[in-house]
Every structure is written in structure tokens, then in C-alpha cells.
A = this chain, B = another copy of it.
């Protein structure tokens, strides 16, 4: 599991730092969620499914960034614990609408508190300003590359209007 190793030449590398920060947080949050019988992945699925609009498996999979075949086992697992259930969409009978059960919603609320706590503890060693900057930076870096104005062939031949997307 790539447990924490001595830094040395590696500690200066962005790849190493990101990977190990991620691994350390994954372990910490897994430990925190364990008493609830959840892992970080489960929690992300629950959170996505808690959206006000009911989602199909495919839609949830897209939001989570996983394949629809992977989604099957994620939902299987939640359903086995009666945290969510499938129902055939009446509008389009190919689709499974996945909804949280009352139990799922309750557990989600508890788990979110646990997660927030785990995040706080994980970031505790950082000065407040640094923690803020970290989160801001990660939001930028985790997001897609900005579409980049993209000069239209034929149109807008000169200076880009600079309208930022999204």
C-alpha cells in the first residue's frame, strides 16, 4: 500500500507529495468512517445520490467519474445495506432510478459530520492561511484544464474577447 516511506529525493516531487497526501487522507478518513460501516467511496456515492433530483445509475456514474459497470456494484453494495434502492424509471424503463432510503439519508448526515471532522483534523497541522490556499489550489488543479477560448475558424480572427467559460 505504499506506506509512508522516507522522503529523501522524493519529497521534492509534486507527484510524490500529491500521492502521499492523498494516501494519508484516504487512510485517515477510512479510519474515521469505519465505525459507520462506510468508506470514502460509499460516502461519495451517498452524497451524489442525495441530490434533489433523482438520478439514474448512469447519471450518478457520470457525476462520480466511474464506468456504469462499476456503478452496478456500488449500488449493489448500498442496496445490500438498505441504504439505497433501485426502482425502474416509469418514464424510461431502461433506467434504474436510485434513491436513498431513510436509513441512507440518516447515515449520510452522520457520515458527513464525521468526514468534516476528519478533514479538520487532517488539516489541523497547517496554518489557517495555508489550509485555505491549499483548498483553493486543489480546486483549481482538480478541475478540468479550462476550455481555453478556442479561436473559432473563420470567426474572431484577432484578439480574444476573453470571456471566461463556465
Q: Are A65 and B3 also in contact (CB < 8 A) when A9-B51, A137-B131 are?
A: yes
* Contact residues of A between 33 and 82, Cβ < 8 Å to B: 40, 44, 47-48, 50-51, 62-66
Taking the full assembly, how many copies of this chain does it contain? 2
In the complex, A5 has a CB within 8 A of chain B: yes
Decide: A4 near B144, CB < 8 A? Known: A25-B18, A26-B15, A138-B21. Answer: yes
| Min C-beta distance of A20 to chain B, whole Å | 4
Contacts of A26 in B (CB 8 A): 15, 19
A138 touches which of B17, B136, B143, B165 (Cβ 8 Å): B17
In the complex, the chain B residue whose C-beta lies closest to that of A17 is B138
Looking at chain A, what size class is its interface with the partner chain?
Answer: 35 or more
Residues B141 and A13 in contact, CB atoms below 8 Å apart: no
| Residues B7 and A143 in contact, CB atoms below 8 Å apart | yes
Sampled A-B contacts (5; CB under 8 Å): A3-B65, A9-B47, A11-B139, A14-B138, A18-B138
